[in-house]
């Protein structure tokens, strides 16, 4: 039976390439890579003579047919992403689904993961967690994500581009409250690896003064049993308001919705919506 190997690769330190991963790369007929130039260096380090074939978000659909043909012909293939575990916030899910449906074997080769590295280094509980990948930049989906994070009872892990980190931290502070705990992991396993731990307010202030570079992973601490308190109720209201405003509702409509659904005083609901902005109809 033909096999597709999903090979996890280093997220920074090349010493994290496992012997099994290297052996797999040496044994396959082809390597599917998100960036062939970047992955060629890794293949050479592993001593693999296999040719590299590009597989990225823009060609995955058309590449799937070729992969199925190669597997049907008896070839073995490996898939790698630019760094870490394939398919995690990277292309490949469509192709793997097609390979499974065609009856071929799919074998994961575990290894480095920015998600798990950031989680275990965060200082937060690790028994349960939620991974939400890269947040939407705007719109109702971003609002829903922020609302979901605000009420999470377990750590939540997010990826973000360094140039958008401060904006995300500030948005999370609005949704979750500025004192929610966060650990920001940057450049994991690399020479300049950094963990910044503190509140969302502190992290936003730090990175406003020290613009980040490189790969960034955020771990939001869980809500700490305060949903029954006044602060917890306001946090819930702010999260819901962000979600409703992102859907395009008028501020006055959102305030009435908050008052009705959360049993808030109307003036309190209008205050919360007004503080979030944008400016608009604030009249009852």
- Mean pLDDT, consecutive 10-residue stretches, the chain (284 aa), reads 93 94 97 93 95 94 95 97 92 95 97 96 95 91 92 95 97 94 97 96 97 96 67 78 88 89 83 73 38
pLDDT at 248: 87
Q: How many CB atoms lie within 10 A of CB 284?
A: 11
pLDDT at 156: 98
Reduce the DSSP state of residue 32 to 3 states and report it: strand
- pTM comes to 0.77
Q: List the domain boundaries for the chain.
A: 3-112, 115-220
By CB neighbour count within 10 A (0-12 exposed, 13-18 middle, 19+ buried), where does 74 fall? exposed
The sheet carrying 130-133 orders its strands as 130-133, 156-160, 216-220, 181-186, 194-199
Pairing of strands 216-220, 181-186: antiparallel
Distances (CA, A) of 69 to 4, 28, 74, 220: 12, 15, 9, 43
CATH number corresponding to 3-112? 3.40.1010.10
pLDDT at 284: 35
Contact 195, 226 (CB under 8 A): no
pLDDT at 225: 61
pLDDT at 164: 97
Pairing of strands 52-54, 216-220: unpaired
CATH for the 115-220 domain, from 3.10.580.20, 3.30.950.10, 3.40.50.150, 3.40.50.1370: 3.30.950.10
pLDDT at 263: 75
CA dist 135 and 160 (Å) reads 7
pLDDT at 279: 42
């Amino acid at each position: 039976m033909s096999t597709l190997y999903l090979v996890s690769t280093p997220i920074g330190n090349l010493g994290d390439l496992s012997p099994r991963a290297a052996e797999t790369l040496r044994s396959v007929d082809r390597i599917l890579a998100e960036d062939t130039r970047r992955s060629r260096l890794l293949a050479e380090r592993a001593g693999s003579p296999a040719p590299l074939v590009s597989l990225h978000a823009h060609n995955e659909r058309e590449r799937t047919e070729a992969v199925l043909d190669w597997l049907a012909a008896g070839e073995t293939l490996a898939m790698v992403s630019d760094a870490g575990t394939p398919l995690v916030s990277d292309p490949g899910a469509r192709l793997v689904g097609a390979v499974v449906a065609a009856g071929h074997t799919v074998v994961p080769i575990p290894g480095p993961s920015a998600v798990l590295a950031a989680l275990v280094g965060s200082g937060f509980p690790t028994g349960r967690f939620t991974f939400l990948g890269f947040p939407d930049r705007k719109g109702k989906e971003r609002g829903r994500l922020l609302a979901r994070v605000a009420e999470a009872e377990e750590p939540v892990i997010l990826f973000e581009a360094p140039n958008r980190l401060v904006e995300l931290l500030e948005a999370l502070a609005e949704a979750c409250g500025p004192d929610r705990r966060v650990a920001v992991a940057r450049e994991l396993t690399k020479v300049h690896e950094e963990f910044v731990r503190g509140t969302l307010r502190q992290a936003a202030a730090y990175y406003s003064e020290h613009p980040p570079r490189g790969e960034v992973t955020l771990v939001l601490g869980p809500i700490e049993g305060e949903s029954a308190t006044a602060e917890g109720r306001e946090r819930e209201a702010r999260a819901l308001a962000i979600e409703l405003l992102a859907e395009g509702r008028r501020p006055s409509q959102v305030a009435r919705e908050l008052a009705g659904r959360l049993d808030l005083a109307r003036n309190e609901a209008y205050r919360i919506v007004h503080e979030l902005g944008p400016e608009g109809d604030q009249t009852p």
